[in-house]
Amino acid sequence: MRSPSLARLNYRAVSGLTRTARFQPQGFLGSRCVSTAALRSPGVAPAYQSVLKQWEQRRNASASASAVLEAAAASPETLSQAAIIDNLDPVEAARLDKVRNIGIAAHIDSGKTTVTERVLFYTGRIKAIHDVRGRDGVGAKMDSMDLEREKGITIQSAATFCDWVKKDKEGVDQKYHVNLIDTPGHIDFTIEVERALRVLDGAVMILCAVSGVQSQTITVDRQMRRYNVPRISFVNKMDRMGANPFKAIDQINTKLKMPAAAVQVPIGAEDEFEGVVDLIRMKAIYNVGESGEELKETDIPDKVKKVAEERRAMLIETVADVDDQMAEMFLDEVEPTEDQLRAAIRRATIGLKFTPVFMGSALANKSVQPMLDGVVDFLPNPSEVENLALDQKRNEASVKLVPYNSLPFVGLAFKLEESNFGQLTYIRVYQGTLRKGSNVFNARNNKKVKVPRIVRMHSNEMEEVTEIGAGEICAVFGVECASGDTFTDGQLGYSMSSMFVPEPVISLSIKPKQAKDAANFSKAMARFQREDPTFRVTYDNESEQTIISGMGELHLDIYVERMRREYRVECETGQPQVAYRETIGEHTKFDHLLKKQTGGAGDYARVMGYMEPTGVLEENNFQQQIVGGSISEKYLFACEKGFNISCEKGPLIGHKILGTRMVINDGATHMTDSSEMAFKNATQQAFRKAFMESQPSVLEPLMKTVVTAPSEFQGDVIALLNKRGATINDTETGVDEFTIYADCSLNGMFGFSSNLRAATQGKGEYTMEFSHYEKAPPHVQKELIAKYLKAQAERNKK
């Protein structure tokens, strides 16, 4: 540990005061200046003008709200949005200040559900604590599906809300409304994490005190970065043998490259873990009462005084590295006050430059409440997060949404769920108020829908409400839509970006065992597909089979099981199939003529050009470079359609095409015999021929695989991976367990979970995540092509 003064010197030497990325605090009455005259200009929507008028009236009455509005160059509408954001109405500001929308995300089994259960208990939302797979057989509140309770895993994210009361500086109780989403840890259910993070303002990243940063922590970190979600970290399981929060903090810094520092230190560890020291207030905190419901504060016990002082110095130093105000104090050797330190941590956390680390043991009911204080202290309220929409009425210009109740409504449907009362749609309200009985417009198809019922979700229970304000999360009944649709009040043409949906990597054929179940089978398929964008259902005309595709074996297994339980449909499934892809080989020219004359109008289309690899194994690309009008615009459109159809089912083994470009640069049209159909067909034929001539390849998905098991099984696990053709990239050895990082083809990993279980006496675990597509080994390609040709020949015989 460096001494503070040495740290200061190093700080001066390394960073000086030359950092350019200054963090601009977004206060409620911020410093951006805009002119009142501009806001009143005719271009500004009346809704904004009325809001501004209200605001000005209140501002005039409020001595503290004295921001001066001056001219700024921007279009009136953007200006008004910006003005509102930077000069929040004091009443709205006070309301929003008390709202937090947070998600809990982490590696499998880190304790997300257990932490959430404590949060619900301490906030008075539930009357008793039930544990995941607990002996009382009840199960945690947020794992409401039977399957979740049986397996002890979270499959669907569950939303709830609670009120957390925190004392302010003057000792007055302040009530905060927290909307909370508990997400699954298994990579197979990753879409649940994606959509939760898309709509949440902040997150609690949970880590296991023994394992630290694990493979899924890295995935979750990537997802948090994708949606710019600020996070606090909670090192859970401090009661476990080998618990070491500081190792976890080092790993957040090194593996996730996110500056992190402890805001607490533990008092005791493992089975002697007693409580924590708050490094901001320098007080010891213990949980007392049967379920740790009360907190007792004392002076710091002597045994942890030294480490507390050292870690506080490290906290200040780490924050000074990412926050200019703290940096200046640090260089001037000024000790920050409690408020200054808390404010700096808050700025840095919201600015995505830092994560404060809390610690405790949810299972032992220790130190969960201080983490909740951390949610309030360091995670943003809805007005501190920039949410943008595209204004379709103004050339897709980007506009900031303002979480004002009085503005026109804008909300995003982020999750659909079938319930006993019909389709339930989860909506995050970004602007305005959603009222029961009102009409809203779906920005995707401009359809008007009435909102018959609004509820707040508490896991699988609901609380009926008549309206939901801006910055909140709710669910509505009877609103037909797709996941990711934007809703507005109809005045605004706003549309919000949806979430990232990963492509499925595995599929299997499925059919009901009994023909009488066909109707229920179709109903279930339609529902699952609507709810989960990573679950796809297709019908293969050639094999006459229904094919389901998803993110992994577990993902598909769960749906087959749900079909049995929820729809009473027993299914037969085929062997899991890998989602292979096909790609073009070398640059190949084509000149294809489709000409048929069978009496009456004939078919005529000639297409010329070339096909080549795009260079990246991602999307395909169609281009037309016709000069002189040899093919008209209308027919070129048909050519593109033909290209897209061809890319859906490759000529090699019938799988989708990737990384292939087709350029049509010449052709010929017949006065009477040419048609859109003829050009579409000619393109498909030309595609097939050129593709097959180019020495194409079959691509297979490569999976990033991480295996963890007790050290004594290391040799067996390595042998197992070698047998499956994996490339081992790295091995980490811990106190009593090891972790192997490997790249494996998905094909080589079928049934790995049971092999691993057998080889490690059930103690090993692994995660597998799609990484990228790569050419399959030649013998695999050959086998796949032969199998495909055989199946086709058999079908042709029938």
Ligand X SMILES: Nc1nc2c(ncn2[C@@H]2O[C@H](COP(=O)(O)OP(=O)(O)OP(=O)(O)O)[C@@H](O)[C@H]2O)c(=O)[nH]1
The SS3 call for residue 770 is strand
**406 φ, ψ (degrees, to nearest 5):** -85, -5
DSSP 145: S
Specify the pairing of strand 260-262 against strand 264-267.
unpaired
Q: How many residues does the chain have?
A: 798
- Which of 348/551 has CB closer to ligand X? 551
Alpha carbon separation from 283 to 165, 181, 232, 266 (Å, rounded) = 20, 31, 20, 12
Min CB(735)–ligand X separation in Å: 16
Alpha carbon separation from 231 to 176, 222, 271 (Å, rounded) = 18, 12, 28
Q: Is 182 annotated as a binding residue?
A: yes
Give the CA radius of gyration of the chain: 30
- Which of 185/667 has CB closer to ligand X? 185
Q: Is 239 annotated as a binding residue?
A: yes
CB atoms within 10 A of CB 297: 11
Min CB(135)–ligand X separation in Å: 11
Query: What six digits make up the tokens of 702?
Result: 């490569």
DSSP 337: P
- Which of 11/286 has CB closer to ligand X? 286
- Which of 197/647 has CB closer to ligand X? 197
Q: Is 674 annotated as a binding residue?
A: no
Chain centroid to Cα 199, Å, comes to: 9
**603 φ, ψ (degrees, to nearest 5):** -115, 135
Q: What span, in angstroms and rounded, lies between the C-alpha atoms of 284 and 732?
A: 35
Q: Is 25 annotated as a binding residue?
A: no
Query: What six digits make up the tokens of 273?
Result: 């873990």
Q: Residues 18, 78: contact at Cβ < 8 Å?
A: no
Residue 206 is inside which H or E element, if any? strand 202-208
Min CB(699)–ligand X separation in Å: 31
Q: Find all residues with CB under 8 Å of 354, minimum gap 6, and list them.
A: 258, 259, 260, 261, 318, 319, 322, 323, 345, 348
Min CB(109)–ligand X separation in Å: 4
Min CB(115)–ligand X separation in Å: 7
Helices (H) and strands (E) in the chain, counts: 21, 38
- Locus of tokens 């054929």: 509
Min CB(704)–ligand X separation in Å: 18
Q: Is 725 annotated as a binding residue?
A: no
The SS3 call for residue 345 is helix
> Under the rule (CB under 6 A), what is the footprint of ligand X?
106, 108-114, 131-133, 152-154, 184-185, 236-237, 239-240, 361-364
Task: Please name every residue paired with 416 in a beta bridge, in sequence order, or none if there are none.
Answer: 425
Q: Is 186 annotated as a binding residue?
A: yes
- Which of 244/685 has CB closer to ligand X? 244
Query: What six digits make up the tokens of 658?
Result: 């990737």
Task: Please name every residue paired with 383 in a beta bridge, in sequence order, or none if there are none.
Answer: none
Q: Is 108 annotated as a binding residue?
A: yes
DSSP 777: P
- Which of 105/319 has CB closer to ligand X? 105
Q: Is 36 annotated as a binding residue?
A: no
Q: Is 160 annotated as a binding residue?
A: no
- Which of 220/316 has CB closer to ligand X? 220
- Which of 142/455 has CB closer to ligand X? 142
Q: Find all residues with CB under 8 Å of 588, minimum gap 6, and list them.
A: 610, 611, 612, 690, 691, 693, 694
Min CB(266)–ligand X separation in Å: 12
Q: What span, in angstroms and rounded, lies between the C-alpha atoms of 51 and 229?
A: 29
Min CB(703)–ligand X separation in Å: 19
- What residue number has its CB nearest to ligand X? 185
Q: What span, in angstroms and rounded, lies between the C-alpha atoms of 500 and 599?
A: 52
Min CB(553)–ligand X separation in Å: 16
First CA to last CA distance, the chain = 77
Query: What six digits make up the tokens of 715?
Result: 């040799």
Q: Is 106 annotated as a binding residue?
A: yes
Helices (H), 227-362: 245-254, 302-322, 324-331, 338-350
Q: Is 184 annotated as a binding residue?
A: yes
Min CB(270)–ligand X separation in Å: 10
Min CB(210)–ligand X separation in Å: 9
Q: Find all residues with CB under 8 Å of 170, minimum gap 6, and list them.
A: none
Q: Report the binding-site residues for GTP.
A: 106-113, 182-186, 236-239
Q: Report the binding-site residues.
A: 106-113, 182-186, 236-239
